[in-house]
Each structure stands twice: as structure tokens, then as C-alpha cells.
Structure 1
Amino acid sequence: MLWFWYFVIYSFLGFLTEVAFARLTRNPKRDRKCRYFLPLCPVYGLGAIAILLLPEPVRQNPLLLFPCSALVCTAVEYGTGLFYETFARVSFWDYSHLPLNLGGRVCLLFALFWGFLALALLRVVHPVVERLTALLPPWLFVPALLFTLLDGVLTFYVLRRARDTGALRWYLRAKRHAA
């Protein structure tokens, strides 16, 4: 149950990070949708869990944490990108324009970002997240899990059918129809 909440919270924080990054860089795709309904970017949730699963001596030593987190999160990012490309037939990101990239799925620059994010995660964010998850009532787990799974299945269906991540921005079409 605890790992589910970590995944959801870090996926949500990743979504906020993506939106902030898109706005700072003036990216035209400013909302950074990764799910049909929920504001989640699962690659961040998976990356955070990978960091939290690193051995204690690695997590306690910043000189080990940085490179190990950069490697493990880059592997998560590569695997997530490969999954989306292979099974949903979409790509959420493309680093092919950046130096030292691997198939456009990962690159050195963003591997370094992952390393810095890991330091902030363990030193600043995770202690707050641990306190927050302790406040969540147990009855909330099942409905949250079901809705998250339903959203994941619907997201996968929409992506596979449309073959375009823009299909997740359904609210833009709804806004145009309402006007």
C-alpha cells in the first residue's frame, strides 16, 4: 500500500515538474499530459521507487547516490520510453536532438538531472512524503488503486488507438465545443 502511494505522489510531483519545465522553456505542449484523467507522469513515480529501493549505504552517501540514481533512473526512463513506443505506439519524449543520447529515449543531460533530483528527493521531499502518507486513511487505498488502474487502462487504449499523445488532451476539444 505504501509503495502505491509513493508511486502516485511522485508521479504527481513529476507532472508538476514537467509542467514547470515546459513553461520555463516555453514549450508549446505546456500541460504535459501522461494520463487520460489523472495528473500523473508515471516515469517519475517509477524513478522515485527505483531510488528508494537502492541499498541503504547508497542512499546515505551523496557521492554514491548521484551516479547510482542517474543510472537507475535513466534505465527506468529508457524502459518506460521503450514500453510506450512498443506497446502504445507513442513517444512522450525525444532526446535525439541532444548530444550523447541513446535512441532519443535517454541522454546524458537528463541522466544528470535525475541524479540531482535524487539528492533533493531523499534529503528534502521524501521525509515530507513519508509524513503525508502516514496521514492517508486506509480505506482510501482501494478506490485510489482502482481509479489509477482504470485511468491507466483507458490511457493505454486511447494512446494505442490514436497513436498520438495529443489524444490525452481531450479537455481542449471539450473547451472548443463549449465556446
Structure 2
Amino acid sequence: MPWDLAFFGTGTDVYHIVQWFFIYSILGWIVETIYMSICGRRFVNRGFIFGPICPIYGFGALIAYFLLRPLADNLVLLYLAGGIMATAWEFLVAKVMMAVFGEVWWDYSEKPFNYKGILCLESSVAWGFYVLILFTFLHKFVMFLSDLYPYQTGCILGGVLMVYYLVDFTVHLCKAKFPEVPDKARRIKNKFVSFCRN
């Protein structure tokens, strides 16, 4: 893995992009799981995969950070741009999920000023504040976390997490797209075992 290469003109190397992505994805999973578990009064795993990773937060945070850096000194513009951009990101992810899975994993239908249950004014307002939090202290905290462990440990951890995430995501994607496959596989296995016994 070319860890030291600059990542597409961001001025940041691949190593830190990968570390930040997983830290944001895990933090997003923790916050959303806690919030939804409190609301539902039972444990709710908000991740698509088995592991504690919500990649929408990893991608969203990094996209916001790199695109909105020029506005970092103007909090009003940063808030407005952050709210608009995060809402557009949420809309895009919802459209992709509808195309791939036939459903969206959130529903704002009960919220006022919602659009088809996938966007709502409350969330757009909140996204703006999240972007302010990202720039005022959260990204500094994420950078601090990513520099806590040795570089070699980060390389190994990043590589293992990427492989784990891709395998886990692929398994869940196949289960969601082809729910009949496990039953077919079980039937084939049973026929094979029965054939071997005879």
C-alpha cells in the first residue's frame, strides 16, 4: 500500500486518509448506535455490516473537511455550506441505496418539512452544526487519535480494517441483493452430504 503518497491533491497522505476514514466511521457508528438505542430503548446496531463501522460518516466527514477548508475562518459560510453539502450527500446516498437495495435505512416521514422521508429540515440544520463541530474541534481530536499509535501499527491496522470492511460489506451486499442464496447453498450442501452418505 502506498501509504506515503499524497491523496489526490488534498495535501494529506494515504496513511492519514485511511486512519481518519476509519476513526470517523467508528465514531459515527458509536454516536448513532447510542442515540438510536436510547430512542428505541434497546440496542440498535446502526451499521450495515457486523463491525462497528458506518462509512457514510467516514466519507462525509472527509469530503466536508477537504472541500470546505477554504471556509474554515468564516463560521457563517461554513455552517451554510456544510448544511447544504451534507444534505446533498444524504440525498445522494439515499438514491444509491434505493438503486442498490431497494430501500433507505432512515425515514424522516414523521418529521416536519421532509422530502420523501429521505431529507428533512431538522437534519439539514443539524448537519450545519456538525460541520462547525468538525472544524472547531472534532478533526483535531481525530488527528490526535490517529497519531497516538506508531506508524507501523497504523499501516497494519489500516490494511486489516480495509480487507475486513471490504469482505464484510461484500457479504452483506450479497445477502441484501440475493437473499435466496443462503437457502440455495444450504440445500446444495444437504444434497451433497446426503449423496456422500449413500
Alpha-carbon spacing, 1:85–1:144, altered in 2? closer, same or farther (3 Å): same
How much identity, in percent, do the aligned residues show?
A: 27
Task: Show the counterpart of 2:8.
Answer: none
Retained in 2: the 8 A contact 1:90–1:159?
no
Task: Show the counterpart of 1:160.
Answer: 177
Task: Find the partner of 1:44 among 52, 57, 63.
Answer: 57
More moved, 26-35 vs 96-105: 26-35
Q: Distance in 2 between matches of 1:59 and 1:36?
A: 33
Task: Show the counterpart of 1:142.
Answer: 159
Question: How far did 1:66 drift?
Answer: 0.8
Superposition TM-score, scaled by structure 1 size: 0.80
Task: Show the counterpart of 1:169.
Answer: none
Question: Is 1:73 paired with 2:90?
Answer: no
Task: Find the partner of 2:95 among 82, 106, 119.
Answer: 82
Query: Number of residue pairs matched?
Result: 162
Question: How far did 1:145 drift?
Answer: 1.2
Question: How far did 1:61 drift?
Answer: 1.7
Question: How far did 1:53 drift?
Answer: 1.6
Moved >3 Å (runs of 4+): none
Task: Show the counterpart of 1:35.
Answer: 48
Superposition TM-score, scaled by structure 2 size: 0.73
Retained in 2: the 8 A contact 1:66–1:118?
yes
Q: Helix, strand or coil: the match of 2:175?
A: helix
1:4 counterpart letter in structure 2: V
Alpha-carbon spacing, 1:90–1:34, altered in 2? closer, same or farther (3 Å): farther
Question: Is 1:12 paired with 2:26?
Answer: yes
Question: How far did 1:65 drift?
Answer: 1.1
Superposition map of 1:103-122 within 5 A: 103-122=116-135
Unmatched segments (≥5 aa) in structure 2 = 1-13, 180-198
Alpha-carbon spacing, 1:13–1:93, altered in 2? closer, same or farther (3 Å): same
Aligned-residue RMSD, C-alpha: 2.1
Structure showing greater relative contact order (alpha-carbon pairs closer than 8 Å, 6 or more residues apart): 1
Alpha-carbon spacing, 1:18–1:132, altered in 2? closer, same or farther (3 Å): same
2:146 counterpart letter in structure 1: T
Q: Distance in 2 between matches of 1:14 and 1:145?
A: 17
* Larger Rg, first or second structure (1 or 2): 2
Q: For residues 118-169 of structure 1, what are the alpha-carbon distances to aligned partners after superposition, in whole Å with 9 as ceiling and x for unaligned?
A: 111221211111122233532332222111111221221222234xxxxxxx
Task: Show the counterpart of 1:123.
Answer: 136
Question: How far did 1:29 drift?
Answer: 6.6
2:128 counterpart letter in structure 1: G
Alpha-carbon spacing, 1:9–1:51, altered in 2? closer, same or farther (3 Å): same
Question: Is 1:99 paired with 2:116?
Answer: no
Task: Show the counterpart of 2:70.
Answer: 57
Retained in 1: the 8 A contact 2:68–2:82?
no
Task: Show the counterpart of 1:168.
Answer: none
Alpha-carbon spacing, 1:23–1:140, altered in 2? closer, same or farther (3 Å): closer
Question: How far did 1:71 drift?
Answer: 0.9
